[in-house]
């Protein structure tokens, strides 16, 4: 993957596009479309690459996604670890976007999580049932999770099992919003006003602190160090891969790979589509 915005990429290589409307403030963009291997590459210039846990098989932990290949989490001890994202340490605004397919309604789907829920550095976005309150919802929490003001919850049945959805969580000095498929579905204010710095890695597909793992698919995971506006969230829903340039063919590799392998793209209603196989 090519992520140096200063140099024109070689022909046929997917590249970060600094001139894209979606590039400003994007500090991590893990498309999760490699289709093989144990590394999940960050297209942004920041290099926040992810690594599969030892429990994930790099040959079978990939499948067909909404717009191409996708990571597949089967529960167990499946997750992807991303080292601390420096631009999101101690900030008062951030946005997290991801396309996900909850494949098991009986389980909690941990989209992203970090740290101990007893501490202010805890942060998480997950799909869940809130006992006695709301079913099939999404929850976004920044700070100690037992403080109700630190989280926002989407309405009942916002989470659709077996359907691809773009979920976005926006944090802005204590104001929290959840969007599903480009529409604002939950909003709350108050609580913690910053994302506290932490040396703990970010988990994708799990909350390793509590040993909680998920059954779901994930692709196109983006992190911003600013609060995206509603119009921007809507546009990201319509234009996946907006911060990168997709050529007719993209090459990917795993560490230690002997050869590069091409993956063809075709057009899709949400932009270029990665076709598995070939």
Tell me the pLDDT band of 79, cut-offs 50, 70 and 90.
very high
- Which range scores top for mean pLDDT: 4-18, 28-42, 77-91, 174-188? 174-188
Residue pair 33/68 in contact (Cβ under 8 Å)? The answer is yes
Q: What is the pLDDT of residue 99?
A: 93
Residue pair 208/54 in contact (Cβ under 8 Å)? The answer is no
* 3-state DSSP of 28-66: EEECCCCCCCCEECECCCCCCCEEECCCCCCCCCEEECC
- Mean pLDDT calculated for residue range 41-64: 90
Residue % of the chain over a pLDDT of 90: 40
Residue pair 261/37 in contact (Cβ under 8 Å)? The answer is no
Q: What is the pLDDT of residue 13?
A: 60
Residue pair 179/102 in contact (Cβ under 8 Å)? The answer is no
- Mean pLDDT calculated for residue range 30-49: 89
Going from N- to C-terminal start, the domains of the chain cover: 15-274
H helix or E strand, kind and range, residue 233: helix 230-238
Strand partners, 15: 2, 245
Residues 152, 169: Cα–Cα separation, whole Å: 9
Q: Give SS3 for 195.
A: strand
Tell me the pLDDT band of 252, cut-offs 50, 70 and 90.
very low
Q: Which CATH architecture has domain 15-274?
A: Sandwich (2.60)
Residues 96, 59: Cα–Cα separation, whole Å: 27
Tell me the pLDDT band of 8, cut-offs 50, 70 and 90.
low
Could you say which DSSP state residue 76 is in?
A: T
Residues 61, 216: Cα–Cα separation, whole Å: 11
What would the pLDDT profile of 81-133 be if each residue is shown by its tens digit? 998 888 999 999 999 999 999 887 666 788 889 988 888 889 888 887 665 56
Q: What is the pLDDT of residue 66?
A: 83
Query: Which residues, in sequence order, are CB contacts of 57 under 8 Å at separation 6+?
Result: none
Tokens of 156: 């009942």
149 backbone dihedrals φ, ψ, rounded to 5°: -70, -10
Residue pair 54/266 in contact (Cβ under 8 Å)? The answer is no
């Amino acid at each position: 993957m090519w992520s140096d915005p200063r140099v024109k990429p070689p022909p046929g290589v997917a590249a970060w596009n600094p001139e894209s409307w979606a590039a400003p403030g994007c500090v991590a963009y893990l498309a999760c479309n490699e289709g093989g291997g144990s590394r999940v590459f960050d297209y942004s210039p920041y290099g926040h690459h992810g690594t599969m846990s030892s429990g994930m098989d790099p040959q079978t932990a990939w499948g067909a996604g909404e717009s191409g290949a996708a990571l597949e989490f089967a529960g167990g001890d499946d997750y992807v670890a991303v080292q601390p994202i420096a631009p999101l340490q101690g900030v008062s605004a951030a946005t997290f976007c991801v396309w996900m397919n909850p494949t098991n309604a009986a389980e909690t789907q941990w989209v992203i999580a970090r740290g101990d829920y007893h501490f202010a550095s805890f942060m998480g976005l997950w799909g869940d049932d809130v006992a006695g309150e709301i079913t099939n919802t999404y929850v976004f929490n920044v700070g100690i999770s037992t403080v109700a003001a630190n989280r926002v919850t989407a309405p009942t049945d916002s989470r659709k099992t077996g359907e691809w959805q773009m979920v976005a969580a926006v944090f802005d000095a204590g104001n929290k919003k959840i969007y599903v498929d480009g529409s604002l579905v939950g909003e709350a204010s108050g609580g913690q006003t910053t994302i506290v710095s932490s040396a703990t890695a970010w988990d994708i597909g799990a909350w390793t602190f509590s040993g909680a793992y998920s059954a779901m698919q994930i692709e196109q995971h983006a992190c911003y160090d600013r609060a995206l506006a509603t119009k921007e969230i809507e546009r990201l829903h319509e234009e996946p891969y907006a911060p990168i340039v997709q050529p007719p063919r993209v090459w990917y590799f795993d560490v230690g790979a002997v050869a590069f392998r091409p993956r063809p793209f075709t057009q899709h209603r949400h932009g270029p589509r990665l076709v598995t196989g070939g």
